[in-house]
Structure 1
Amino acid sequence: MAFRGRMSSRRVALFATLAVVLLALGWMRYTGAAALSGIEFKDMDWNEDGELTRGEVLQGFFMIVAVRTTDGARSCVDYRRRGSGESIRVECRTTPAAP
């Protein structure tokens, strides 16, 4: 089973595309993109007008970050604009202590 030499240009393009997608997902995860924080698409109505647009979903990937904080049994997610740090929405949950 010998290596056959050069890869086809189609295969190189496929590997390059996959590498770019994986790098983009890694960068978004590292920077805390809101869309990768576990929020559902229906909750990405950032301007709260009752209508979810494609632009708002894209903002969840590129312009909105999710900052998680925990204080005892209370955990919060603060959704902020990337760059300015302006808070858009804060969602908090309190979980009961285990017996």
Structure 2
Amino acid sequence: MAFRGRLSNRRIALFATIAVVLLALGWMRYTNAAALSGMPFKEMDWNEDGELTRGEVLQGFFTITAVRTQDGNRSCVDYRRRGSAESIRVECRTETAP
């Protein structure tokens, strides 16, 4: 079985697609995208009208960030629009020590 020196166009397209997906996931992790914070899609109703749209889910990937804070045994996730300090939603948990 001889090794071909040239990759087929299909394999090049596959590798390029995988590279783009990995770069996009890395960028979303770096920018604290809300969709990667562990929030279920059904809770991404950002305008709180009771209806989840495709646009609101996409906002969770590209527009909304999740800022995590820890204060003693209380941990909070503050959801904000990218580039803004104004909170959209804050979710906090208090964990008791065993």
Judge same fold: TM > 0.5, yes or no.
yes
- Residue 36, structure 1, aligned to residue 36, structure 2: yes
Aligned to 2:13, what secondary structure does the other structure show? Answer: helix
Alignment length, in residue pairs? 98
Aligned to 2:47, what secondary structure does the other structure show? Answer: coil
Displaced runs of 4 or more, over 2 A: none
1:2 CA drift (Å): 4.4
| Corresponding residue for residue 65 of structure 1 | 65
Distance 2:3 2:89 in 1: 54
- Residue 21, structure 1, aligned to residue 21, structure 2: yes
Aligned to 1:89, what secondary structure does the other structure show? Answer: strand
1:3 CA drift (Å): 2.5
Aligned to 2:66, what secondary structure does the other structure show? Answer: strand
Distance 2:69 2:50 in 1: 27
| Corresponding residue for residue 76 of structure 2 | 76
- Residue 90, structure 1, aligned to residue 90, structure 2: yes
Distance 1:49 1:18 in 2: 36
Instruction: Write the letter of the residue equivalent to 1:97.
Output: A
Identity rate of aligned residues, in percent? 84
Aligned to 1:48, what secondary structure does the other structure show? Answer: coil
Q: Deviations over 1:41-99 (max 9, x none)?
A: 0110000000000000000000000000000110000000001232100000000012x
Distance 1:52 1:92 in 2: 22
Aligned to 2:75, what secondary structure does the other structure show? Answer: strand
Aligned to 1:85, what secondary structure does the other structure show? Answer: coil
Distance 1:51 1:8 in 2: 45
Kindly report the root-mean-square deviation, in angstroms, between the aligned alpha carbons of the 2 structures.
Answer: 0.9
Instruction: Write the letter of the residue equivalent to 1:86.
Output: E
Q: Deviations over 1:1-47 (max 9, x none)?
A: 54311000110011001000000000000110000000000110000
